[in-house]
């Protein structure tokens, strides 16, 4: 996972800011007009009430989310990579999803990458001024040598972030597949991409604060996208993460419990099997169910692009 690190810039006060008041994410929420007069319990209830819009928005976007999963899984099977591009909260959520793929699904660090305007520093300190630089987004695409094999997902709550649009435009010029995720309808901000995912959750309780409902719905959508892609790639068996990276005691325990649950072996025998498979749950299961050694098991998995079910059908 890589993050771009351009120099800090501040928007010039002489440049007129475009009026964004028509955007859904910038509008005033009539339910929270007296927010500063509410009790703590009333505040909690109002936030809870508004957050129901998040689940509704995910449901309404089910078809484009499914299309994005199919497109991305196909690209990754063929050697491509997935890039999330964003600024501020949207970019940080992309980085978060990217860095969680290797430990959860044992993916190479460069398979899913987050590109954040402002780079590493922007994870800890706001650098929102950089989102205005379309050329910065385009440069980030060039720096990573993105090709027609790759997929680029632009994430922007309000849909207008120049950094994201610059990245999408540059990715399209290179032939990459492009996805777009925003919390405004396409009628307010149009863009030409392969899959357009819209998640309109309505005006925020605190007007314009898109780290709230917009941030929540973005996190849910990214969870669905990356997890769905990994399921399609054979990283999951049933509902178990059989490609889990056994890198600490918690994950070692999880690996052993997965083996215990899915086989007839006790924990000590599962430990032996895990050791013989070089700490690979998937290979351990292939060896046990396929009645083969690690070399043969890995060969069958390689022939079937790591899909355990397909490899088992071939060996049995």
Cβ neighbors of 60 (< 8 A, separation 6 or more) are 200
Query: According to the model, what pLDDT value does residue 16 have?
Result: 57
Residue located via tokens 């090709």: 147
Percentage of the chain beyond pLDDT 70 is 93
Comparing CA positions, the residue from 159, 160, 157, 166 lying closest to residue 4 is: 166
Domains of the chain: 24-232 (3.40.50.10490), 249-315 (1.10.8.1080)
Query: According to the model, what pLDDT value does residue 10 have?
Result: 42
**38-90 pLDDT tens trace:** 999 999 999 999 999 999 999 999 999 999 999 999 999 999 999 999 999 99
Comparing CA positions, the residue from 313, 261, 259 lying closest to residue 288 is: 259
Supply the residues annotated as catalytic.
Answer: 100, 131
Distances (CA, A) of 171 to 126, 134, 179: 26, 12, 10
Query: According to the model, what pLDDT value does residue 294 have?
Result: 96
Comparing CA positions, the residue from 18, 241, 44, 40 lying closest to residue 132 is: 18
Inter-residue contact 88 to 158 (CB < 8 Å): no
Q: Which residue has the higher pLDDT, 263 or 14?
A: 263
């Amino acid at each position: 996972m890589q993050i771009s690190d351009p120099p800090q810039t501040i928007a010039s006060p002489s440049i007129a800011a475009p009026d964004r008041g028509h955007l859904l994410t910038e509008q005033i929420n009539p339910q929270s007009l007296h927010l500063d007069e509410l009790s703590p319990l009333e505040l909690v209830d109002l936030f809870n009430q508004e957050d129901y819009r998040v689940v509704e928005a995910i449901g309404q976007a089910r078809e484009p989310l499914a299309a994005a999963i199919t497109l991305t899984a196909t690209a990754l099977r063929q050697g491509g990579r997935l890039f999330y591009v964003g600024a501020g909260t949207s970019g940080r959520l992309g980085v978060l999803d990217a860095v969680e793929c290797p430990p959860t699904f044992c993916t190479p660090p460069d398979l899913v990458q987050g590109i954040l305007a402002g780079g590493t520093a922007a994870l800890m300190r706001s650098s929102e001024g950089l989102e205005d630089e379309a050329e910065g987004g385009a440069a980030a695409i060039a720096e990573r040598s993105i090709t027609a094999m790759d997929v680029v997902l632009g994430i922007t709550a309000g849909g207008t972030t120049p950094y994201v649009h610059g990245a999408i435009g540059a990715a399209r010029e290179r032939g990459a597949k492009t996805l777009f995720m925003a919390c405004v309808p396409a009628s307010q901000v149009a863009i030409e991409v392969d899959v357009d995912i819209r998640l309109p959750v309505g005006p925020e309780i605190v007007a314009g604060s898109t780290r709230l409902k917009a941030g929540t719905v973005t996190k849910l959508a990214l969870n669905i996208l990356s997890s769905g892609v990994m399921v399609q790639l054979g990283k999951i068996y049933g509902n178990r993460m059989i490609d889990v990276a056994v890198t600490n005691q918690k994950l070692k325990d999880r690996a052993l419990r997965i083996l215990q649950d899915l086989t007839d072996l006790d924990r000590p025998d599962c430990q032996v099997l895990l050791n013989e498979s070089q700490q690979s749950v998937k290979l351990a299961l292939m060896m046990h169910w396929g009645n083969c050694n690690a070399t043969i098991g890995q060969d069958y998995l390689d022939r079937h692009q790591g899909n355990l079910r397909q490899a088992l059908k071939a060996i049995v």
